[in-house]
């Protein structure tokens, strides 16, 4: 299935980004403290990699339903009311995603029109910031997937919250 | 009208069980859309700023370090060392659990990670030695909160970033309160053991064994020296220290202790990514929230009405503690810091409260939030680790809650505890 392939690609890419930005920062420290030199573009590259990491990762967390939510109210509702609340919540999440996607698109389009370049990296800024529209588009895709799941009843609308899953345990 | 809409929308969204990140983001975006004159473009820029703020780069690195340290054998060796140190005392195993949490807190900045790492080792050990399981779980649940107070701490990094306070000073400020709380908790072990008392049996640990346990834990202990020494010695920034400890954690777990195979590295990285993005998505949306607060001058409004009450600083701090305690029971520590710090910070500054002291007050309140229902993360994690129902863990944590509340009063009203060390080291 293509969505499954997308999951794997997201995981592979974000894990690589994390490893790369960690190593890059570490190398910068070594270069500076031991050899009194450094990579001019190091920090900027790390920042943009961080951007890609976070934005590509957001949708993965929706997929595994790991985002932190407060569920003191909805857990007292009946099943159909709970389903309605879940649909309303997902609809509002889609509204947010749509607005942020539009905002990201506007920013990227503006930067491309101005042709502004990054400080130290030899790349235009709009390319580096493509993480924003792509990340929000993927988030939208996952939310639509979640909506379909709630309507069909294949996705549980309660029970994540603060259950001690592997995810929660490493959250601070 | 604007603040009412912003806060009202946020509360409604949270009640609908929307993710905290999106609730923050959507309430901010809607407020700007309805009342503000900001362009769409500035929203995207503000969101992305969370990834550009230098101190916040420490977040993924510290999370990665914690994940590798938890999966690797560092936690076990630190626990063994702690047990060797306190084994001769009555209640030594429970004291060792507190000490092990404190040691792990000095290499990791995440509280639930500490409960998992230390609890999965020491709870079984304590039960085997004759402690009640509830008591053992209570000890680790509470001592695990040391992780956000003792540096490095992710909550402190986030507080420093959002209030533009030096993370280095905040880290230094956490040390003395962290040590005091560790000592108080160790001293409370026999007191809280209650009528059942502590198992009379103690371990006869020889000096040789202590040295051997220390040698075995050497790589973990060295990390404490590298991170804290490096930051305070000015060798590197907290962000760089985080990257160094992440690389160090991988090397120690994979090549020195060999608890994680090379082929398992991607899996642990993916876990770190999950935690990082979850947290950073909240932080990025909190930047939108803070942006609305600033452009609509909401803190100034709240500040004016609070200052009009003519509260003495101690009254304000009491009010602040109450608000933070309530917020801490409902949300995770990072979310509380991100929502409340931008509102409270200007008022506190106006009243002459030191930003670093304020940060430590936030952290100690949120430690309490970690062990209070309904949203006390440590309770759920400890329940999973100990195999006890959450309600038993909650009950077992009550005496510790009282201790933490007493400690909160100390930290709130004696700024010296937090400020002495940064003052000494920065002068």
A27-59 pLDDT, tens digit per residue, is 999 998 888 888 888 899 999 999 999 999 998
Please report the pLDDT score of residue A70 as a whole number.
58
Residue from the list B13, B112, B274 with its beta carbon closest to the beta carbon of A66: B274
Region of residue A153 (left: phi > 0; alpha: psi -120 to 50; beta: else): left
What's the mean pLDDT in A137-151?
89
> Which residues neighbour B277 within 8 Å (Cβ) at sequence distance 6 or greater?
A14, A53, A54, A57, A58, A60, A61
CB contact under 8 A, B384 and A26: no
Q: Greater confidence, B175 or A77?
A: B175
Residue B172 pLDDT exceeds 60: yes
| CA distance, residue A42 to nearest chain B CA (Å) | 12
Please report the pLDDT score of residue B32 as a whole number.
87
Pair of tokens at residue A116: 């502004």
Please report the pLDDT score of residue B196 as a whole number.
65
Chain A residue with CA closest to B45: the answer is A107
Please report the pLDDT score of residue A68 as a whole number.
58
Q: What residues in B contact A162, CB-CB < 8 Å?
A: 374-375, 377, 380
Q: What residues in A contact B374, CB-CB < 8 Å?
A: 72, 162
Average per-residue pLDDT for chain B: 90
Closest to A106 measured CA to CA, from B20, B281, B48: B48
| Torsion of the alpha carbons at B59, B60, B62 and B64, rounded to the nearest 10 | 160
What's the mean pLDDT in B359-377?
92
- DSSP letter string, B167-203: HHHHHHHHHHHHHHHHHHHHHHHHHHTTTT---S---
> Which residues neighbour B172 within 8 Å (Cβ) at sequence distance 6 or greater?
B151, B232, B421, B422, B425, B426
| Model confidence, pTM | 0.88
Residue A172 pLDDT exceeds 70: no
pLDDT band per the 50, 70, 90 thresholds, residue A25: very high
Tell me: the pLDDT tens digits for B43-58? Answer: 999 999 989 989 999 9
Tell me: the pLDDT tens digits for B223-240? Answer: 999 888 888 888 888 999
Closest to B362 measured CA to CA, from B176, B170, B184, B140: B170
Residue B195 pLDDT exceeds 70: no
Instruction: Tell whether B329 is within 8 A of chain A (Cβ).
Output: no
Residue from the list B15, B112, B148 with its beta carbon closest to the beta carbon of A73: B15
CB contact under 8 A, A69 and B19: yes
| Torsion of the alpha carbons at B76, B80, B85 and B89, rounded to the nearest 10 | 110
CA–CA dist B60, B66 (Å, integer)? 10
CA–CA dist B229, B236 (Å, integer)? 9
The count of C-alpha atoms lying within 13 angstroms of the C-alpha of A50, restricted to the half-sphere facing its C-beta, is 31
Please report the pLDDT score of residue B61 as a whole number.
94
Q: Determine phi and psi for B90, rounding to 5 degrees.
A: -70, 130
Q: Is B216 helix (H, G, I), strand (E, B) or coil?
A: helix
Residue A63 pLDDT exceeds 70: no
Q: Report yes or no: B105 and B79 within 8 Å, Cβ to Cβ.
A: no
Residue A161 pLDDT exceeds 60: no
pLDDT band per the 50, 70, 90 thresholds, residue A165: very low
| CA distance, residue B112 to nearest chain A CA (Å) | 5
Q: Report yes or no: B173 and B137 within 8 Å, Cβ to Cβ.
A: no
pLDDT band per the 50, 70, 90 thresholds, residue B295: confident
What percent of chain B clears pLDDT 90, i.e. is strictly above it?
50
Residue B176 pLDDT exceeds 90: yes
Instruction: Tell whether B110 is within 8 A of chain A (Cβ).
Output: yes
B7 by Cβ neighbours in 10 Å (0-12 / 13-18 / 19+) ranks as: middle
Tell me: the pLDDT tens digits for B77-130? Answer: 999 999 899 988 888 899 999 999 999 999 888 888 899 889 988 998 899 888
Within a 10 A sphere around the Cβ of B427, how many other Cβ atoms?
A: 5
Q: What is the DSSP letter of B257?
A: S
CA–CA dist B310, B290 (Å, integer)? 26
Q: Report yes or no: B341 and B362 within 8 Å, Cβ to Cβ.
A: yes
């Amino acid at each position: 299935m293509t969505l499954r392939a997308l999951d794997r690609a997201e995981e592979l890419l974000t894990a690589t980004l994390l490893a790369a930005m960690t190593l890059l920062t570490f190398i910068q420290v070594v270069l500076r403290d031991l050899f009194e030199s450094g990579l001019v573009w190091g920090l900027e590259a790390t920042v943009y990699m961080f951007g890609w990491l976070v934005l590509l990762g957001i949708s993965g967390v929706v997929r595994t339903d790991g985002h932190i939510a407060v569920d003191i109210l909805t857990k007292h509702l009946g099943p159909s009311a709970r389903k309605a609340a879940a649909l309303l919540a997902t609809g509002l999440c889609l509204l947010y995603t749509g607005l942020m996607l539009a905002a990201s698109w506007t920013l990227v389009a503006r930067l491309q029109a101005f042709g502004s370049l990054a400080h130290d990296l030899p790349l235009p800024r709009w390319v580096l910031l493509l993480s924003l529209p792509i990340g929000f588009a993927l988030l939208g895709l996952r939310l639509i997937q979640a909506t379909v799941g709630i309507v069909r009843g294949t996705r549980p609308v309660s029970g994540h919250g603060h259950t001690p899953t592997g995810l929660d345990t490493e959250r601070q | 009208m604007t603040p009412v809409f912003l806060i009202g929308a946020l509360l409604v969204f949270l009640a609908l069980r929307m993710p905290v990140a999106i609730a923050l983001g959507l309430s901010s975006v809607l407020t700007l859309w309805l009342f503000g004159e900001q362009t769409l473009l500035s929203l995207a820029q503000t969101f992305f700023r969370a990834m550009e703020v230098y101190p916040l780069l420490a977040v993924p690195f510290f999370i990665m370090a914690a994940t590798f340290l938890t999966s690797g054998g560092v936690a076990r060796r630190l626990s063994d060392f702690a047990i060797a140190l306190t084994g001769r005392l009555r209640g030594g195993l429970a004291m060792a659990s507190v000490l092990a949490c404190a040691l792990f807190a000095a290499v990791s900045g995440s509280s639930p990670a500490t409960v998992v790492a230390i609890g999965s080792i020491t709870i079984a050990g304590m039960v085997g030695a004759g402690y009640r399981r509830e008591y053992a779980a209570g000890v680790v649940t509470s001592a695990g909160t040391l992780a956000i107070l003792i540096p490095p701490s992710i909550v402190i990094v986030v507080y420093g970033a959002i209030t533009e306070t030096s993370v280095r000073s905040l880290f230094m400020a956490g040390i003395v309160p962290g040590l005091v709380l560790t000592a108080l908790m160790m001293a409370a072990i026999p007191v809280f053991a209650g009528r059942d008392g502590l198992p009379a049996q103690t371990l006869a640990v020889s000096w040789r064994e202590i040295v051997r346990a220390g040698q075995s834990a050497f790589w973990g202990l060295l990390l404490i020296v590298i991170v804290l020494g490096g930051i305070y010695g000015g060798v590197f920034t907290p962000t760089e220290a985080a990257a160094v400890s992440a690389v160090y954690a991988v090397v120690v777990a994979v090549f020195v202790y060999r608890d994680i195979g090379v082929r398992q590295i991607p899996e642990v990285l993916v876990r770190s990514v999950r935690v990082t993005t979850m947290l950073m998505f909240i932080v990025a949306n909190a930047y939108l929230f803070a942006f609305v607060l600033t452009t609509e001058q909401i803190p100034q409004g709240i500040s004016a009405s609070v200052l009009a009450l003519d509260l003495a600083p101690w009254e304000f701090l009491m009010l602040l503690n109450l608000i933070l305690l309530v917020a801490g029971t409902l949300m995770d520590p990072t979310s509380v810091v991100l929502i409340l710090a931008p509102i409270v910070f200007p008022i506190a500054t106006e009243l002459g409260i030191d930003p670093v002291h304020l940060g430590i007050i936030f952290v100690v309140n949120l430690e309490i939030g970690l062990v209070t229902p309904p949203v006390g993360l440590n309770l759920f994690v400890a329940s999973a680790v100990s195999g006890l129902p959450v309600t038993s863990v909650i009950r077992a944590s009550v005496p510790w809650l009282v201790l933490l509340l007493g400690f909160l009063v100390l930290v709130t009203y004696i700024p010296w505890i937090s400020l002495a060390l940064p003052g000494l080291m920065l002068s």
